[in-house]
Structure 1
């Protein structure tokens, strides 16, 4: 996701926050009706009524938290149910579907066609719907059965309870070892957008909690209560939340490492101060903080155990690549690690107390785990500079992971991989893992993979030279390379794994906008692949030269994503399944989402989008 998209996302959320504040301000009655003076405050009847009201208020506040938890659990249950229904459908539904199944397929395709489309401020319409459901839920639990509406105190306390419940919720969404990864196939990185959303809600509700409580104290003329010890802890927690908000809006994109340190420190401070703000067990608020602390520390303990396990006898070799790339080869591997997943890389010689997430581009039991890292700033820049100064240097290292999972794309009939720049790490890894699964399972070996990679600079192609050679050697894979910058009419040769000028002929192939790649070893390609190559080629400008055997041509320009997906979909019947797997910058993801949405039809093949966007 680019910076503009991020700003619009934040602006959209902040606009909602301002609306909420306005609604809350107008709903609450004026201070003239705060408390009835009909009964003396120190009379036995008044004291009894006050105690009964307090018990009722606490019960209602606990119920509000229960309703919030139940609503969030219900949303998760829908995703869990959807995942397992989908799993059973793919595994056991015959090609010739019964009429009832066809009706359900029609409904789900119609919904998916709408939900995956991009909308302003959100990744997709589906995400915006979840946002609206979440917003409706927190408004409902905030305003339901507050009791004693003339009292700002009651409303302030309800806001505090809902905010405390949010702390547990956002902690659960931030877990790296989340149970949702298995139950829904959504790993923590997919949940990050919802973690951010709930985080904004936590800060908003905490701020409103403080505002209405201050108003209540002002009406009671008892400002001195704000200086009590437990209130000071609450003020510190509120300041910590505002610091998180400020750094998330203005520092996150520019200085991720600084933001991360501040984020963790402020989060721990919030846990401590909120617990001290309401320390009584009888209040039950502290229970939510205990739960949040427990799951967070357990997750950290698991991550530490991964680092310790992979540290002993382990090291990485650094190799500099053109255009700011660095290949990192870790020499210890594991049968539990798959290419296409990702891990947090720890190299103490570069950053002693930091780990950084990178996609696993390749896994070889003999050679180890391969990462390809694009230099930006901070850690990645220092990593690249060290590789340039000391090519082939070996450093002690470890990983925390792996995280994420590779979908069973081997069960689809056609899979289109679309990558932009360093997004190739995910798509290369996923494509190679899929290719390996196809090799193991001959029953589904007819799956066709089409791999499209778009780079800005021609030299970037060498980042994944080994992976390109492996993909291009498979009879089930079509590889197509595009360069948006200047192309010196070069070919990538699988024999020397470098870029060379060894063009062997002058025959031209005319294509639309951006030409398709010419492949070596075509005599080994099945007829289905040859047909696919023909339908994705059109008769327009821009020509490329045929190259020597087992070489790949880098085509100039951008791929026509819509045309590619349309041609593949039109070549399939309604019993077949097509997956589009994309990773790259926001502009590429937006065009891919739009293209997939346009190509989803009731009478066509089952078309699904699996996307990974740049959002660290």
Structure 2
């Protein structure tokens, strides 16, 4: 930005900042691509490169501001400011500047607060900035338009690939929705996308919930493809409401993906998986991924740590806990489950049959019955009894809802598992790990330290985590301190998104 400049005036420096900002434009777009070539050249998917996208974006914005400021000062000194601003090219430049300001504002302030609004503002402002930038220097001979067209072409190609994939997987595809206790929703897709793997994520399109939006969720089972979603605001809240009103309903859906990269767990001797709440979608997917690939002679160890707020959240991944239980001896699997909010009464704790009393599990946060039924993989008519959707019956009182749910959890039906089928059960916590549940928050630092320090120096340890910011910070800091020259090889993978 400051070298090889002959006449060192405000105008020449302003021109240099403009060219550097224009060059960074292509880099910003390249680092924002979902289908980036860097995913094939490196071990990082687009979400790992997102921090570089941010840095390039902030740098470009600073360069554009300096470009505009220096030129404004230069023309003002010549008393040509009003005449310059009246030109069509300069009006386009002003539009570009304010559009980029909207892009930066949405990235800094809106992204964490209201992601859907951020996405609309970010993309629309970016399109406006690129178009107006093309009108700012509309001449091919000056070369700047070539850079703008190159960057725009990359973005259009990426969007075309994503739209084509959604269109392809929309034919004869549907999603079955099941409500889960405490604001959870399970999504089961009919079609399995190519390269689908537990632990990766996909963008799901469900037009019945949002016609023009796709949202990313982590795969935790691939036969069929399953997602478990925690309801927050926006799409996930509306998805939850629809699942509660129509439990077991099938809706048109499609998918874009899969995306994401993570270390191959088979290359490690010990795999430490840590999750908080809904972050278990990643760790369960990774655990099942490695257990299905191990044989009986494997000596790998799996340490699985999961912390949830309510006991009912454990039923979200009942089948995965059963898989961990099956492999509890060969290979060795150490499962630790933590419930941070203790039951309010003795009736809330699991009984000797593995069921949970109805006092807290029979109602969702929306005040509607949400039986914690596992998705049914068998034929119609062979599934466990379900509560009729509320839309087909008059409004029920609180006592009626409790009676209906109590009838549902009194039975337990197990189908023979064929290809693509799942064990069917209507109990709330029949996962066989009731004895491993501990009250309170886990001491994550001590658990990670114990897992790594008990590993021989000639072995390798993978620490993978997904969850809230506080949990991830503890995992990162603790693991970093455990990387020593005289200890085992340690690799850390944090699955954390910006949405």
State the partner residue of 1:376: 232
The corresponding residue for 2:52 is: 194
Q: 1:335 Cα shift? A: 5.0
Partner of 1:452: 305
CA contact (8 A) 2:182 2:312 kept: yes
Query: 1:245, CA displacement in angstroms?
Result: 1.8
> Counterpart of 1:184?
42
Corresponding residue for residue 601 of structure 1: 484
CA displacement at 1:173 relative to structure 2: 0.7
- Report whether the alignment pairs 1:414 with 2:270: yes
Residue 286 (structure 1) aligned with residue 139 (structure 2)? no
Q: Which residue of 2 aligns with 1:301?
A: 160
The 3-state SS of whatever aligns with 2:211 is: coil
Residue by residue over 1:222-277, the C-alpha shift from the partner in whole angstroms, topping out at 9 and shown as x without a partner, is 11112211111111110101111222233222221111111111111111111121
| Candidates 155, 169, 179, aligned match of 2:27 | 169
Q: What is the rounded CA distance, in whole Å, between the counterparts of 1:552 and 1:334 in structure 2?
A: 37
Q: Residue 237 of structure 1 contacts residue 273 of structure 1 at CA under 8 Å; is this kept in 2?
A: yes
| Contact 1:324 1:374 (8 Å CA) reproduced | yes
- CA spacing shift, 1:428–1:371, aligned 2, 3 Å: same
Conservation of the 8 A alpha-carbon contact between 1:322 and 1:460: yes
- Which segment is superposed worse, 153-162 or 564-573? 564-573
Report matched runs for 1:374-413 at 5 Å: 374-413=230-269
Which residue does 2:408 correspond to in 1? none
Q: Structure 1 CA distance, aligned partners of 2:431 and 2:231?
A: 33
Among 289, 292, 307, which residue is 1:433 paired with?
289
Paired residue secondary structure (2:213): coil
Mapped to 2, the partners of 1:217 and 1:375 lie a distance apart of 54
| Cα offsets for 1:374-411 (capped at 9, x unmatched) | 11111100000111111111100000000013421111
5+ residue gaps, structure 2, are: 359-429
Task: Flag the 1:398–1:415 CA change in 2: closer, same or farther, 3 A.
Answer: same
Please, which moves more after superposition, 197-206 or 213-222? 197-206
Contact 2:322 2:432 in 1 (8 A): no
Q: Secondary structure at the match of 1:613?
A: coil
Is 1:613 the equivalent of 2:496?
A: yes
Q: What's the counterpart of residue 107 of structure 1?
A: none
Q: Distance in 2 between matches of 1:481 and 1:267?
A: 45
- TM-score, normalisation: structure 2: 0.81
Equivalent runs, 1:6-25 vs 2, <5 Å: none
Work out whether 1:219 is the aligned partner of 2:92.
Answer: no
**CA distance in structure 1 between the partners assigned to 2:59 and 2:86 by the alignment:** 26
Instruction: Output one character per residue of 1:466-493: Cα deviation in whole Å (capped at 9) or x when no partner.
Output: 2221122213222211111114677779
Q: Which stretches in structure 1 are left out of the alignment for 5+ residues? A: 1-141, 502-546
Aligned to 1:446, the other structure's residue is in SS state coil
How far residue 189 of structure 1 moved from its aligned partner, in angstroms, is 0.8
Correspondent of 1:563 among 425, 446, 457 = 446
Q: 2:413 is matched with which residue?
A: none
Distance 1:468 1:247 in 2: 40
Q: Distance in 2 between matches of 1:406 and 1:495?
A: 38
Superposition deviation, residue 569 in structure 1: 2.2
1:312 aligns with 2:171: yes
Q: Distance in 2 between matches of 1:406 and 1:376?
A: 26
CA contact (8 A) 1:406 1:430 kept: no
Determine if the alignment matches structure 1 residue 331 to structure 2 residue 190.
Answer: yes
Report SS of the residue matched to 2:169: helix
Counterparts of 1:615 and 1:492 in 2: how far apart (Å)?
Answer: 36
In 2, Cα distance between the equivalents of 1:446 and 1:491?
Answer: 35
**Structure 1 residues 284 and 415, CA gap change in structure 2 (3 angstroms):** same
d(CA) in 2 for partners of 1:494 and 1:587?
35
1:473 corresponds to which residue? Answer: 326
1:160 match: 18
SS of the residue 1:407 aligns to: coil
8 Å CA contact 1:493, 1:550 repeated in 2: no
On the 8 A contact 1:346/1:356 being kept in 2, the answer is: yes
Give distance in 1, aligned partners of 2:236 and 2:77. Answer: 55
2:448–2:475 contact (8 Å) kept in structure 1: no
Count of equivalent residues: 422
**1:37 aligned partner:** none
Select the structure that is richer in helix.
Answer: 1
Q: CA deviation at 1:465?
A: 1.4
1:303-355 CA distance string (max 9 Å, x none): 11110111111101111111111111111114520010000000011111100
Larger CA Rg, structure 1 vs 2: 1
Measure how far apart 1:171 and its partner are. Answer: 0.6
Query: Does structure 2 conserve the Cα–Cα contact (< 8 Å) formed by 1:493 and 1:551?
Result: no
Q: How many angstroms does 1:613 deviate by?
A: 2.0
